[in-house]
Amino acid sequence: MKLSEEQIHRYSRQIILPGIGGKGQRKLAEAKVFIMGAGGLGSPAALYLAAAGVGTIGLADSDRVELSNLQRQILHRTCDVGFPKVESGKKTLESLNPEVIVKIYPERVTSANAREMIKDYDLVLDGSDNFPTRFLVNDACYFEKKTLISGAILRFEGQLSTFKPHANGPCYRCLLPEPPLPGHVPSCQEAGVLGAVAGIIGLFQANEALKEILGIGQSMTGRFLLFNALNLSFDEMKIQKNPRCPLCGEHPTIKELVQYSLSCPTQDIASLQISPKI
């Protein structure tokens, strides 16, 4: 495809960057990114990917906009309260960049539809806020050989990693083989979250997605970032493929998608007890 005059103008500040150029901009236009969750992480990620000219964005969320979402879920406006998040998100993204195709998935992701949802996309951003969805997305990405850019937030902290088990990197289950028991970790609803922290981690996810599409910089695969907003500190640990991983290990026990109970309270990976002092 050839970039139009208007496209060259719209994206001029990034087209001039080393490693992008017209070729990179065309890669972005042809790219398809699936975003799980139009919430605190998905909102900033989707906005910046649309602004950058990512050609197709898939947005999946079964919730409706609530007043308490607006403190951090910046895809939505006060007038959107009560409407499905994917519709509100699509409207906002299209008003920002009408060139972007926004496909919406208002249904809950399940073991029956997860692989079908992501199979036509190049990469997946996980901005879900509960463990059943997080594991489902990880497993679906593994079976469909999709790169997964995972973010998580709670209170004043955030985490980020990229999982590429199809390229010999670890998967999410290499870190945490099974979801924690319901009630063992607090949710954002119970513990709170600072909106700016959601913005920071969501934009890190968008940044990693752009790097993966463009093939520039150093991937976050095999690396796990922990961010603390109060100290403004970053810790990073190396993570490796776990040979005992039940999904991508040497003797996998998981051969198909597992449906964990969605009735358990909303939880967040941010409570994962992994020492950053490595």
Task: Quickly tell me which residue has 């463990």 as its tokens.
Answer: 131
| Options 50-58, 96-104, 116-124, 173-181: segment touching Zn ion (CB under 5 A) | 173-181
Task: Quickly tell me which residue has 């939880």 as its tokens.
Answer: 267
Site for Zn ion in 189-248 (CB under 5 A): 245, 247-248
| Options 1-9, 14-22, 169-177, 219-227: segment touching Zn ion (CB under 5 A) | 169-177
Q: How far is the CB of 177 from Zn ion (least distance, A)?
A: 8
Write out the E strands in 82-140: 101-105, 123-126
Binding residue for Zn ion, selected from 174, 200, 209, 239, defined by CB under 5 A: 174
Question: Which among 218, 227, 223, 219 has a CA at the least distance from the CA of 240?
Answer: 223
Rank residues 38 and 247 by Cβ distance to Zn ion and give the closer one.
247
Q: Is 171 a binder of Zn ion (CB under 5 A)?
A: yes
Contact 74, 41 (CB under 8 A): no
Rank residues 97 and 161 by Cβ distance to Zn ion and give the closer one.
161
Rank residues 76 and 134 by Cβ distance to Zn ion and give the closer one.
134
Distances (CA, A) of 276 to 104, 158, 171, 248: 36, 12, 18, 24
Q: How far is the CB of 101 from Zn ion (least distance, A)?
A: 32
Question: Assign residue 85 a region: left if phi > 0, alpha if psi is -120 to 50, beta otherwise?
Answer: alpha
Give the distance, in angstroms, between the CA of residue 106 and the centroid of all CA atoms in the same chain.
17
Number of residues that bind Zn ion (CB under 5 A): 6
Rank residues 114 and 247 by Cβ distance to Zn ion and give the closer one.
247
- Residues in a beta bridge with 153: 158
How many other CB atoms are found less than 10 A from the CB of residue 22? 13
Grouping H, G, I as helix, E, B as strand and the rest as coil, residue 35 is strand
Rank residues 26 and 115 by Cβ distance to Zn ion and give the closer one.
115
| Options 154-162, 174-182, 189-197, 250-258: segment touching Zn ion (CB under 5 A) | 174-182
Rank residues 255 and 277 by Cβ distance to Zn ion and give the closer one.
255
Q: How far is the CB of 119 from Zn ion (least distance, A)?
A: 20
Site for Zn ion in 83-142 (CB under 5 A): none
Round the CA-based radius of gyration of the chain to a whole number and report it: 18
Q: How far is the CB of 172 from Zn ion (least distance, A)?
A: 7
Rank residues 6 and 250 by Cβ distance to Zn ion and give the closer one.
250
Structure tokens at 11: 């994206």
Amino acid at the residue 153: I
Chain positions contacting Zn ion, by CB under 5 A: 171, 173-174, 245, 247-248
